[in-house]
Structure 1
Amino acid sequence: MNIKNQDRVKEPDIEYGRYSYADYLTWQFKEVVELIKGRRFKKAAAAPKRIHQQVSLKLSTKFYNYLEGQKCQVYDAPFDVRFPIKSREDDKIHDVVQPDICVICDPEKLDERGCIGAPDLIVEILSPGNSKTELKHKFSLYESQGVREYWVIHPENQDLLIYTLEHGKYIPSRLLTTGDLVESAVIKGFALDLEEFFSDIE
């Protein structure tokens, strides 16, 4: 085996790798690692910016408080979401992501390792660690796997886009920002006042 092939064994190739959840479980990286269609995506090794963590914690808390006592449950990263296609076997699953926040309303999808199947709602909070390629692939993955609602938050700009699944395709909201009241089609009755939400985030 030549050096190039040895390197590919040690470090899965982002462009050509066809890796599974079974492979994923053997890796020991400092970075967050996700699989999309068998390709490995590594985020920056450094911790997310403080503003990212503020938004994540505050929104997770709002979801948690609203959903307490209800069937739906909220989880934040690190939390593996696996998307099986034909089989639930580890070596047959090629899509594994760690959304910043997800809401799962079907308890049958939860196990000791996270979620297997599409969450009802996923939130991704943009940071320098997100690549355009990663976001493009995640959009396609979430849409094709039936994630009913997908939120993309830009903390620095204090704005939000919501993609709602209709007839298998995502329909984007207008750009939501300070002064808007955000309502979820998935979590009935939940509302988020963006002016209040971002008021103490900086």
Structure 2
Amino acid sequence: MAKITELSQLDMNGTYSYADYLTWQLQETVELFKGKIMAMSPAPNVKHQRVALKLLRPIDQYFMHKSCEVFIAPFDVKLYDRRKSLLGDREVFSVVQPDLCVICDKSKLTEQGCDGSPDWIIEVLSLGNSKKELRLKFQLYQESAVTEYWIVHPYEQTLYQFVLDQQEKYQLHAMHPGDEIATPYLFPDLQIDLNEVFAE
């Protein structure tokens, strides 16, 4: 079987599993949404990287000597319906690389990344993010029972905080402008100063 080194070798309308994904040797970074290939935006720009790093610092500090851990992209997160037990790589059709994710259940960590839903995911938007990509990730994280999901807009300097309700649907918990303190629903004693996050 020929090595897959170019996206052009793949059928963009085909359906692929995580097992397929592991065999690819692509220059581009891709994610799988329910078996469909989603090419990621070009490498994050300076603004994106600054915001992600400034979010990482207080979060990493907070989890020092605690049971939860924070991970940064590139880091594979395999997602599937939370009602299913661990699945083999051929049975998993969604793999994403969130900018930051917090995992409290150590049994989900593997050599490759995270097998199952993180507790908290943060995505920092780039200019190249499409509405389709945002909608797909929102739905995927909701279906996979990621408890808390933050969408950070560096250019608007806003943060949208979504939390799963009892019906396992995301509700907008808070919308923070760039001059506020953001506090995770899951970790209420962690405070993140958005003035610092969005400072140039």
SS at structure 1 position matched to 2:186: coil
Letter in 2 for 1:130: N
Structure 2 contact 52–124 (Cα < 8 Å) conserved: yes
SS at structure 2 position matched to 1:54: helix
Counterpart position of 1:3: none
Q: Where in structure 2 are the equivalents of 1:136-175 lying within 5 Å? A: 136-167=135-166, 168-175=168-175
SS at structure 1 position matched to 2:128: coil
Q: Deviations over 1:133-153 (max 9, x none)?
A: 111111001001110000000
Runs of 4+ residues over 4 Å off in structure 1: none
Which stretch of the first structure deviates more once superposed, 125-134 or 141-150?
A: 125-134
Structure 1 residue 73: Cα displacement = 0.1
Structure 1 contact 75–103 (Cα < 8 Å) conserved: yes
Are the structure 2 counterparts of residues 24 and 187 from structure 1 closer, same or farther at C-alpha, using a change threshold of 3 Å?
same
Q: Aligned residues, how many? A: 191
Are the structure 2 counterparts of residues 144 and 84 from structure 1 closer, same or farther at C-alpha, using a change threshold of 3 Å?
closer
- Pick one of 30, 34, 52 that aligns with 1:33: 30
Instruction: Quote the Cα distance in structure 1 between the aligned partners of 2:130 and 2:23.
Output: 24
- Pick one of 35, 42, 51 that aligns with 2:47: 51
Q: Which sections of structure 2, spanning at least 5 residues, go unmatched?
A: 1-5
Counterpart position of 1:125: 124
Structure 1 residue 47: Cα displacement = 1.9
Structure 1 residue 188: Cα displacement = 3.4
Q: Are 1:68 and 2:67 counterparts?
A: no
SS at structure 2 position matched to 1:164: strand
Structure 1 contact 74–101 (Cα < 8 Å) conserved: yes
SS at structure 2 position matched to 1:176: strand
Are the structure 2 counterparts of residues 94 and 175 from structure 1 closer, same or farther at C-alpha, using a change threshold of 3 Å?
same
Counterpart position of 1:4: none
Instruction: Quote the Cα distance in structure 1 between the aligned partners of 2:148 and 2:192.
Output: 15
Are the structure 2 counterparts of residues 20 and 180 from structure 1 closer, same or farther at C-alpha, using a change threshold of 3 Å?
same
Letter in 2 for 1:177: P
Instruction: Quote the Cα distance in structure 1 between the aligned partners of 2:78 and 2:172.
Output: 24
Structure 1 residue 92: Cα displacement = 0.7
Q: Percent identity over the alignment? A: 43
Structure 2 contact 162–174 (Cα < 8 Å) conserved: no
SS at structure 1 position matched to 2:127: coil
Letter in 2 for 1:176: H
Structure 1 contact 84–92 (Cα < 8 Å) conserved: no
Structure 1 residue 173: Cα displacement = 3.2
SS at structure 2 position matched to 1:153: strand
Q: Deviations over 1:111-163 (max 9, x none)?
A: 11100010000000100232211111110010011100000001111110011
Instruction: Quote the Cα distance in structure 2 between the aligned partners of 1:195 and 1:176.
Output: 11
Instruction: Quote the Cα distance in structure 2 between the aligned partners of 1:195 and 1:68.
Output: 23
Q: Are 1:184 and 2:184 counterparts?
A: yes
SS at structure 2 position matched to 1:124: strand
SS at structure 1 position matched to 2:192: strand
Instruction: Quote the Cα distance in structure 1 between the aligned partners of 2:7 and 2:60.
Output: 42
Are the structure 2 counterparts of residues 180 and 56 from structure 1 closer, same or farther at C-alpha, using a change threshold of 3 Å?
same
Instruction: Quote the Cα distance in structure 2 between the aligned partners of 1:8 and 1:101.
Output: 26
SS at structure 1 position matched to 2:135: helix
Structure 1 contact 82–117 (Cα < 8 Å) conserved: yes
SS at structure 2 position matched to 1:66: helix
Instruction: Quote the Cα distance in structure 1 between the aligned partners of 2:33 and 2:145.
Output: 15
Structure 1 contact 84–116 (Cα < 8 Å) conserved: no
